[in-house]
Structures are given as structure tokens and as C-alpha cells.
Amino acid sequence: MKYLDEFRDRATAEALIDEIGALAERIDAAARRPIQLMEVCGGHTHAIFRYGIGDLLPKRIELVHGPGCPVCVLPMGRIDDCVAIAERPEVVLATFGDAMRVPGSRKSLLQAKADGADVRTVYSPMDALALARRLPERQVVFFALGFETTMPATALTILEAARDGIENFSVFCNHVTIVPTIKAILDSPDLQIDGFLGPGHVSMVIGTAPYDFIARHYRKPLVVAGFEPLDVLQSIWMVLRQILDGRAEVENQYARVVREGGNRAALEAITTVYELREFFEWRGLGSIDHSGIRIRVSFARFDAERRFAVPGARIADPQACQCGEVLKGVIKPWQCKLFGSACTPQDPIGALMVSSEGACAAYYQYGGAGSPEDRP
């Protein structure tokens, strides 16, 4: 494919891997500690597994798969609320496919659909709005989730619904914002991360400036990375280079897409439609201040939480589940007591086993469920 294949060139990849190996050798050899790099975005996690990148890196480099899978981090209580909305007879619930299998405390949306709820898969919030226009006698609710990547599309859909006076459309808003979450991870006392691969698609919207505190305050290097194998490898090389030089800066490897100031139109749509919640519950990480957003009062009629009374119960994560420790890089997915036995992609307990972008599901699917020796 034009403009893609050049980012998947094997010879270039091999040359980069050699250089990464050479850099890793030179970094603080005395410490003999693994170098832990966290990719924040689930898209990177997927690319790393899809292309077997972990397998190519020197053993000393450990990739920690961060909280960037928006499906995985949804707490059970929110799924329960969504199921409750979907089970109302007047409602058509429109959702992305990934969200269908996320377990709630009672059931997933897939089970709710089998039990008779009208749940439909869409590919964009605009599809959901089109559904509302087509079914004027029904209440169409879009299950919105994702980081800043998907926020603008939901916001623009709400703006269009407002402009056209669509009365039977609303949004169950579960959008979350990445920066407070990275901060929560950095504040964690058991943190071992040496550097970050920053999320490429999120940064396309918010730009690179919001990460400055990571370099300034926490003295950790961050490189905003693209999603092709060579993007990931080059970004790893750039982080290592910073570590070796003793620098902690925000660098942009994905400059072909990401601008320093982000995308102004997208940011404008976001601030018009949403405001920050005081706190939001994350599966595996607990409650994080200012990490969720909700729909502003001026757009209240498009807010499904206001339109339909939702139970809003807080459901604790399953006790034995160690998603939080995996997210922070304290343990590897297969070191969790439940991995591959009680918790599998067919029957997930922990959030990270749910979507193909979740670290545990990716290990399970692409890394196999055998012994730790043959992990990627």
C-alpha cells in the first residue's frame, strides 16, 4: 500500500533493531536492570503484538502495555448502566463492536442483545445519528467511549443533532482523557517506567504540549509515536537516545500527523460540548480525578445519563484481578494468577483480557498461553 509499506520495510527494521541493541548496551550497564518503556496507547500495544516487535527487541528492553485501551478501562458499573439503558423497550443502543463483549456485573451487551435488547454495531457516531433519523419512533442511544481520538467525532455528532433538532438521539458518554491517567501512573509508588511512547492519535487532537509536565516534573522522556512497525521502532530508539543522553524531553516521531498545537477545530468541538467530571472510575486503576468528561448542561437533552435514570452503582473490580499491577508494569500479564485459567478472552474477568488492544488479550492471542519462556 502506498504510504504504508515504506513504514514496514524489513531491512530498515533490522537496521533500527541493531541500533536499538547498541544503545541498550550502553545505557547504565552497571545497573543491570531491565529498561521499562510504556506504550500508553492500545493502538501501539496492538501494533507491537501484530508485528512481533517485542520478539525483535533486545531482552533488556521490556515493553509495559499501558492504560490506553478505552474498552478495557471501562468499569463494570458503567457497563451495567449501559445494559440498563439498552434493555429499555424504546431504546436502540448503537455501539462500536469492541464494546459488545465487555462484561458487566450482570451481563455484557452481547448477552443483552441475545436476551432481546436492540443493540446494533456502528462504525461511527454519525451512523448512530443516521439510525435516529431513520427510526423517529425509537430512542437511539450512542455508547460513546474512547480517548481524545474519538471525542471530537462524538462532539460533532451532538452538534449536528442539535443543529438539526433531532429529538430521539442521545449519547451515553464514557470518554476519558489521557493526561490525568498518565499522571496517576507516574504518581504510583511502585512505578518503574523509564520512558514513554506517547499516543499518536490522541496527540493528533491535543498536540504535544500537554505532555510537557512528564518531562519537566517527572523527568521522564516521552516520544509521540506513530503506529507502523518502523514508527514504533524509531520511537523506541528515540527514547533510548534520551535516556543515554540524560535528557527528558517530549519529542514527536509522528510529525507527519501530529502538530505541536493539535487540531484546533477538534479541540473547539470538544470544549463546546464537554466538561470535565470531578472523577471517573477506571477498571484496574480505581478512581482518577478529572479523568472523565461529560456532556455540558447546554446539551443536556443529548445526554443519555440525564434522559434515562441509570442505576449508577459502583461495582468493585474482581478481587483476584491484577489488571492494575499489569497496567503499571509491576507484573507481566502471565504473572497474574488468573491469566489463561480463570481469565481468558472467551470469558474475561479483568479489563485487559477484553479487547484485542488489552495487554492480556494481546499476550493470550499473539503470545500464546504456554510457558513464559516462549513469550514474545
* Least distance CB 346 / another protein (angstroms): 5
- In terms of CB distance, is 53 or 321 closer to another protein? 53
- In terms of CB distance, is 215 or 353 closer to another protein? 353
Which residue ranges make up the site for another protein (CB under 8 A)?
A: 1, 4, 8-10, 13-14, 17, 42-43, 46, 49-56, 70-71, 96-101, 121-124, 127, 145-147, 149-150, 201, 229-230, 233, 345-346, 355-357, 364-368, 370, 374, 376
Question: What's the distance, Cα to Cα, between the start and end of the chain in Å?
Answer: 27
Contact 85, 310 (CB under 8 A): yes
- In terms of CB distance, is 70 or 318 closer to another protein? 70
Evaluated on CA atoms 216, 40, 148, 175, the torsion sign reads: negative
56-70 in b/e form (b: 16+ CB < 10 A) is bbbeebbbbbbbbbb
* Least distance CB 231 / another protein (angstroms): 11
Contact 362, 69 (CB under 8 A): no
* Least distance CB 309 / another protein (angstroms): 27
* Least distance CB 52 / another protein (angstroms): 2
* Least distance CB 109 / another protein (angstroms): 12
* Least distance CB 9 / another protein (angstroms): 8
Helices (H), the chain: 10-26, 42-50, 53-56, 76-86, 109-114, 125-134, 151-164, 178-187, 200-206, 212-216, 229-245, 264-273, 304-307, 323-327, 359-367
Number of helices (H) and strands (E) in the chain: give both, helices first: 15, 13
- In terms of CB distance, is 56 or 159 closer to another protein? 56
- In terms of CB distance, is 146 or 221 closer to another protein? 146
- In terms of CB distance, is 98 or 305 closer to another protein? 98
